[in-house]
Amino acid sequence: DAMVIQNPRYQVTQFGKPVTLSCSQTLNHNVMYWYQQKSSQAPKLLFHYYDKDFNNEADTPDNFQSRRPNTSFCFLDIRSPGLGDAAMYLCATSGAGGEEQYFGPGTRLTVT
């Protein structure tokens, strides 16, 4: 089945230790998104790629970076995680602008 896969599902990192979360898709979608979701809150868009074009949200901290080496994969790098970065990180894809988004199961990040 076509899907969006996120690894790992749970990630524990230490304060200040860089961490990378990964997302892959078999849907061949043009657009890939990264969201941060804290407990009982709405998903907050961090950035998205339309093909290779990177689009950063104005309020996304510089601590968050992303890479998309090819259509299928996208990575979220947190350079120096703080306690406030503990959250669920959701990856999503869509085939074109404005259509439904397909979400992965998320990676729950804990910062100790």
Partner 1 sequence: SQQGEEDPQALSIQEGENATMNCSYKTSINNLQWYRQNSGRGLVHLILIRSNEREKHSGRLRVTLDTSKKSSSLLITASRAADTASYFCATEGNFGNEKLTFGTGTRLTIIP
Residues that bind partner 1 (CB under 8 A): 4, 6, 31, 40-45, 48, 50, 55, 88, 90, 92, 94, 96-106, 108
Task: Give the residue with the Cβ less far from partner 1, 15 or 50.
Answer: 50
DSSP at 63: T
Task: Give the residue with the Cβ less far from partner 1, 83 or 96.
Answer: 96
- Give exposure, 76-94, as e/b (b: 16+ Cβ within 10 Å): bebeebeeebbbbbbbbbb
What Rg value do the Cα atoms of the chain yield, rounded?
Answer: 13
CB of 106 to partner 1, least distance (A): 5
Number of helical (H) and strand (E) elements in the chain, helices listed first: 0, 11
Task: Give the residue with the Cβ less far from partner 1, 62 or 100.
Answer: 100
Task: Give the residue with the Cβ less far from partner 1, 47 or 85.
Answer: 47
CB of 68 to partner 1, least distance (A): 14
Distance CA 90, CA 33 (A): 8
